[in-house]
Amino acid sequence: MWFGKKNVPLPTGVITTSEGLELEVVTSYKHLGVWLDGTLSFSQHISKLQAKVKFRLGFLNPSFTPAAKLTLIQMTILPMLDSGNVIYRSAGKGALEWLDVLYHSAIRFATNAPYRTHHCTLYSSVNWSSLYTRRKTHWLMLIYKTLLGLTPPEIPTAAIVLHIQQPFCQSHSVKGPQSTHIPGSLLFSVRCS
């Protein structure tokens, strides 16, 4: 698979691995449960996830109590929305809005709220955060775990955490600007000596 936004012609020759196997050029590839396409737009992954969530929501019986519906959604729908969200969080806003619509409809189903209920009211009624906040929280947790060396084994070691004996900047060598008339962008610059 070739990644990029330009229409670059594919190589005409056959690409072989070191074992002598021919590589097949594909337009999309599923890796660790996330569909990747050539432009890394994640639209195919989000559309497949949307179909899967709609299918699961259709199976939930409307005769359940609201507490049972909420538990079922937490156990079936939320894990599907959370899996891989660190990877596809950089998708376009339009693609991610479809997931917000599904999230809101799942909450409306659990709480029997009318269609026109504002999303903030929906979140507060079930005490959940928005999908954007969930994605950001998972991203920050991944960064924290990576810094501690507790990265899950399924994540490749693309980023190697360096253990530095001496810090780059010591507190006595950090110098800030002396004048208050410097533009705001320079007020936050730091120079290490």
Percent helix / strand / coil, the chain, rounded to 5: 45, 5, 45
- Greatest mean pLDDT among 71-75, 155-159, 177-181 lies in 71-75
Q: Which two tokens stand for residue 116?
A: 């026109």
| Dihedral sign (CA 63, 69, 75, 81) | positive
Q: Is residue 166 part of a domain?
A: no
Specify if 174 maps to a domain: no
Tens-place pLDDT, residues 117-147: 999 999 999 999 998 999 999 889 888 888 8
In the chain, the amino acid numbered 138 is H
Q: Any idea what DSSP says for residue 16?
A: B
Share of the chain above pLDDT 90, in %: 11
Q: Per residue in 119-156, is it b (16+ CB within 10 Å) or e — as a string?
A: eeebbebeebeebeebbeebeeebeeebeeeeeeeeee
pLDDT over 50 (residue 181): no
Residue 158 within any structural domain of the chain: no
Place of tokens 């979140």: 123
Residue 193: predicted pLDDT: 42
97 lies in some domain: yes
| Whole-number Å distance between alpha carbons of 44 and 34 | 9
The whole-angstrom separation of Cα 102 and Cα 109 is: 10
- Which pLDDT band, with edges at 50, 70 and 90, does 189 fall under? very low
**3-state SS, residue 76:** helix
Contact 74, 134 (CB under 8 A): no
Domain that holds residue 87: 44-148
On average, the pLDDT of the chain sits at: 75
Beta-strand runs (E) in the chain: 28-31, 34-37, 174-175, 191-192
How many structural domains does the chain have? 1
Q: Indicate whether 7 belongs to any domain.
A: no
75 located within any domain: yes
Calculate mean pLDDT across residues 9-24. 75
Residue 158 has pLDDT above 60, yes or no: no
> Among the ranges 86-90, 93-97, 105-109, 169-173, which has the highest mean pLDDT value?
105-109
What is the identity of the amino acid at 143? I
- Which pLDDT tens digit goes with each residue over 38-79? 777 888 888 888 888 888 887 777 778 888 889 988 998 888
In this predicted structure, what is the pLDDT of residue 9?
A: 64
